[in-house]
Amino acid sequence: MEDKIREVARLIANAKKVVVFVGAGLSTESGIPDFRSPGGVWDKYDPADFDFHNFLTRESSREKYWQMATEMYEAMRDAKPNAGHLAIAELERLGKLDCLITQNIDGLHFKAGNSETRVFELHGTAMHVACLDCHRRYERDPIQERIAAGDRAPRCDSCGGPLKPATISFGQSMPERETAEAFRRSAECDLFIVIGSSLVVYPAAQMPVEAKRSGAKLVIINRDATPCDKIANVILNGPAGQIMESILQKVKEERV
């Protein structure tokens, strides 16, 4: 493991464009459940009930969605970035991070110190709420206060349209600008680092493939094996935060 950590640190030190791609496996180390795992939210709810079309057309679906979304948000609201988030933010401060592509919706990268211009949230964010009609954006906590007071499916103050957490639901299109830019950056980088992703959710899971196809080195840091392991240059299996903290320390040593 130590040799691999040193190898990844050298790759980072020598790279001109580093893209980091993050999945739920990093946030679980901050106490945020992996909602797809046994005992998670999807064991309590049927994902089919939260199809975006149903949200648009049925008040009962909106009420059920907000019930589920409230449960998820409460797990994220007070979470703190772990060593892995802090290490990625430090890579940006060191001038080594071209961009961060995240499948997570918890906003922990911003708490850690990454700048908004370098982060592409492929699945949106649970920290804000958006009106689906006029697109007005709200902070999440005031909307949660309305729900706690009995508003089971809140509507926009400006136009009366349905409010929804600014996340991407089943059946909802991925954000076009963020997705296109993430693919472009993946194809132009010289080092692509996957952290805490099983790489099974598409189209995002195609990004490391695009990076490798374009000539980048590929590093995968994840607890379990992934479909991309066979094309990776370096694989480190274990706790992502601890591994990233060790890699960052070696990067700093390489720069001395």
With left for phi above 0 and alpha for psi between -120 and 50, is residue 160 left, alpha or beta?
A: left
Question: Is 14 a residue whose pLDDT tops 90?
Answer: yes
Q: How many domains does the chain have?
A: 2
Give the mean pLDDT of 167-189. 93
pLDDT of residue 201: 86
256 and 156 belong to one structural domain: no
Give the other-Cβ count within 10 Å of 47's Cβ: 13
Which domain-ending residue is among 112, 145, 167?
A: 167
Question: Torsion angle, CA of 143/145/147/148, rounded to 10 degrees?
Answer: 170
For residues 171 and 191, the model is more confident at: 191
Closest CA to 162 of 57, 16, 78, 81: 57
123 as an active site residue: the answer is: yes
6 and 118 belong to one structural domain: yes
152 and 231 belong to one structural domain: no
Closest CA to 83 of 251, 255, 253, 249: 249
Tokens at 121, concatenated? 């949230």
pLDDT of residue 239: 94
CA distance 116 to 239: 26
213 and 252 belong to one structural domain: yes
pLDDT of residue 39: 58
Domain containing residue 48: 33-78+124-167
8 and 129 belong to one structural domain: no
pLDDT of residue 51: 86
- Lookup result for tokens 């001109």: 16
Give the mean pLDDT of 192-198. 96
**Beta-sheet pairing, 119-121 with 97-102:** parallel
Cα 175 from chain centroid? 13
26 and 38 belong to one structural domain: no
Question: In this structure, are residues 251 and 94 in contact, taking their beta carbons and an 8 Å threshold?
Answer: yes
Condensed to tens digits (0 to 9), the pLDDT of residues 42-67 reads: 567 766 667 899 899 999 999 999 99
Question: Is 41 a residue whose pLDDT tops 90?
Answer: no
Among the options 53, 85, 109, 123, which is catalytic? 123
- What is the separation, in whole angstroms, between the first and last Cα of the chain? 22
Instruction: Give the Å distances, CA to CA, from 219 to 7, 30, 37, 104, 158.
Output: 10, 22, 24, 19, 46
- Which of 69-73, 194-198, 214-218, 228-232 shows the lowest mean pLDDT across its residues? 69-73
Condensed to tens digits (0 to 9), the pLDDT of residues 72-111 reads: 898 899 999 999 999 999 999 999 999 999 999 999 999 9
Identify the band that residue 171 occupies on the pLDDT scale cut at 50, 70 and 90: confident
Cα 26 from chain centroid? 9
Which of helix, strand or coil describes residue 86?
helix
Phi, psi of 51 (to 5 degrees): -60, 140
